[in-house]
Amino acid sequence: MTSRDSYFDPHSGPVDPFLGDPNDPSNLLDDLDPVEPLTDTDLQEIAADLAELTEFEAALSPHEIHGIVVDCADCGEQHYFSWALMAANLRSLLGNGRTGVHEPAAEPLTDAYVSWDYARGFTDALAHRS
Ligand SMILES: [Zn+2]
């Protein structure tokens, strides 16, 4: 078990076919992606994201938008995060530098989720409309 596995269960899917295999290619990834403390700059960016997320929720939730969809760099799939779950993930990053990023909503209403960029554009448009 790698140190990474102790942080979260990436995907509750089939058992890793390389489990116990010393040549597990994901060991390579672990080397490239060490668990390091976040820098002050990282923390500031995450805090800014959290503030922005709060604005998004205020702007978008009245329009039946439930949260954010993220293209996952790890597995190539899209993950859906409710506003609350995304905020919890960001707060978790601020707290310990790790997040349960792979906890998608169960059977999300995919039409009710937008990308971060879309949420930003929508929120900006609302702010400048009056
Ligand atoms: Zn993923």
**So what's the pLDDT on residue 77?**
87
- Cα 39 to middle of ligand 1, angstroms: 24
pLDDT digits (tens, 9 = 90+) for 94-109: 886 666 555 555 677 8
Low pLDDT (below 70) residues in the chain:
1-35, 96-106, 130
- Cα 93 to middle of ligand 1, angstroms: 17
- Cα 99 to middle of ligand 1, angstroms: 12
pLDDT digits (tens, 9 = 90+) for 17-37: 556 666 655 555 555 555 677
- Cα 130 to middle of ligand 1, angstroms: 39
Give the DSSP letter string of the chain: --GGGGT--S-SSSPPTTTT-TT-THHHHHHHS---PPPHHHHHHHHHHHHHHHHHHHHHGGGT--EEEEE-TTTSSEEEEEHHHHHHHHHHHHHHS------PPSS--GGGEE-HHHHHHHHHHHHTT-
